[in-house]
Amino acid sequence: MNMKRTTKTKPVEPLPPVVFDSKLALEMFEKRKARNAKIEKVDNASLYAGSPMTYYCRHCGELTAELPEGYLGKPRTICEPCEVLRAHGLI
């Protein structure tokens, strides 16, 4: 049985280019940094043996990872929003 498609599909239009608003990104960075300055950070040295290790972004203080003590990989030291700012040369 040979079936032919009776409906035609419209061609897909390309998406418009993404515009990076550096002013907005820096405002969000300042808000994130101020919010995280109020949060008490976990001191990994004061934890019991076997406790998960907590890692924070070195720029804004956002929690980036909470990993088991025996984790062998390198933890993230910069959060994703700060990584974008760094890629654009803003921090």
Per-residue pLDDT of the chain (91 residues; tens, 9 = 90+): 566 666 667 777 777 777 778 899 899 999 999 999 998 988 888 888 888 889 999 999 999 989 888 888 888 889 999 998 998 888 8
**Residue 74 domain-assigned (yes or no):** yes
**Residue 66 domain-assigned (yes or no):** yes
Q: What is the number of domains present in the chain? A: 1
What is the SS3 assignment for 35-79?
Answer: HHHHCCCCCHHHCCCCCCEEEECCCCCCEEEEECCCCCCCCCCCC
- Say how many Å lie between the first and final Cα of the chain, rounded: 63
**Residue 39 domain-assigned (yes or no):** yes
pTM: 0.70
**Residue 16 domain-assigned (yes or no):** no
**Residue 8 domain-assigned (yes or no):** no
The two tokens of residue 8 are 């035609």
pLDDT of residue 3: 60
**Residue 79 domain-assigned (yes or no):** yes
Q: How many CB atoms lie within 10 A of CB 7?
A: 4
For residue 82, what are the domain limits? Answer: 22-87
Q: Are 64 and 57 in contact (CB under 8 A)?
A: yes
**Residue 5 domain-assigned (yes or no):** no
